[in-house]
Amino acid sequence: MNTIGCFHAHYSNIALIEETLAAYEVELVHYVDPGLDRLKHDADFSDVVIHEKVAQTLRWIAECHADAILVTCTLFAAVLEQEATEVPVPVIGIDDPLLQEMRQVPGDYIIAFTNPATIEGTMARLNQALQQENENEHPYIANTYQTEAVCIPGTFELIMRGDQQGYFEAVREGLQQIAEQYPSKTVVAAQLSMAPAAAQVTADTGIAIHSPLALLAAYLEKNLEVARQ
């Protein structure tokens, strides 16, 4: 049985990961650290702080007998390119499955967020991955991608103070409005905490809202060879 160390910024992500991987023979060990989200508005806060903390925590999780590490916070995942190479086990960012799917399906994407602090890093990571895909293609058949970030205002504060139902309703309403506003574009809920609301909008309207959770199990099954029970 594989042991996956799950690195979260908020405890609410634990249940989402547990439910998604319940059918697999995998042990999930959860590490929750909300500190960076609490410090991000400090005057002296910088990306250096994020890099140092994420690197330190990845090393610690790896030392705790993890076979792999799943980073569920987009703020943390945005700095994984360098830090992931410094630990002896595979490190997967929560947005890796989405990035893989987007590389396979060129088009216009609206990337929706609730946490403004994650936008810059996630979009840089995403656009870099898509640009690399373009460079690997023949110049005459290069894939084309257009991405735009949108933040649903006033939502992240709800989940940080424990109002999960209020957060769900606000995100559901926000995602539906975005989908209706951009009918010709593919809407992606960038953060794991948005996944239940994205699934509800899809069920209610038939409009596909992509999220990290929908693709996670299949991605881990393929890349970590986790087996079903």
* Residues 169-185: tens digit of each pLDDT: 999 999 999 999 999 99
Compute the Cα dihedral for 180, 186, 191, 195 and give only its sign. Answer: positive
pLDDT in tens, 73-97: 988 888 888 888 889 999 999 989 8
pLDDT above 80 (res 63): yes
Q: Where are the domains of the chain?
A: 2-94+215-223, 97-211
| Tokens at 222, concatenated | 């393929």
Residue with tokens 């140092």: 52
Stretch (H or E) spanning 3: strand 2-8
The pLDDT of residue 74: 85
Residues 62, 100: Cα–Cα separation, whole Å: 25
Give the CA distances from residue 129 to residues 122, 150, 177, in Å, rounded to whole numbers and listed in that order.
11, 19, 28
pLDDT in tens, 120-147: 888 988 888 887 655 555 443 345 678 9
pLDDT above 60 (res 31): yes
The pLDDT of residue 142: 43
Residues 43, 50: Cα–Cα separation, whole Å: 14
Residue with tokens 């893989």: 100
Pick the CATH number of 97-211 from 3.40.50.2300, 3.30.70.260, 3.40.920.10, 3.40.50.11900: 3.40.50.2300
Among 32-41, 69-78, 218-227, which stretch is predicted with the lowest mean pLDDT?
Answer: 32-41
pLDDT in tens, 194-223: 999 999 999 999 999 999 898 899 999 999
The pLDDT of residue 98: 86
Provide, rounded to the nearest whole percent, the portion of the chain with pLDDT above 70.
94
- CB-based contacts of 103: which residues, under 8 Å, 6+ apart? 129, 130, 133, 143
Domains 2-94+215-223 and 97-211 are alike in CATH topology: yes
CATH T-level topology, domain 2-94+215-223: Rossmann fold (3.40.50)
**Residue 5's beta-bridge partner residues?**
29, 69
pLDDT higher for 26 or 128? 26
| Tokens at 97, concatenated | 């499955």
| Tokens at 136, concatenated | 């690997």
Q: What is the mean pLDDT of the chain?
A: 89
The pLDDT of residue 65: 96
The pLDDT of residue 138: 45
pLDDT above 90 (res 229): no
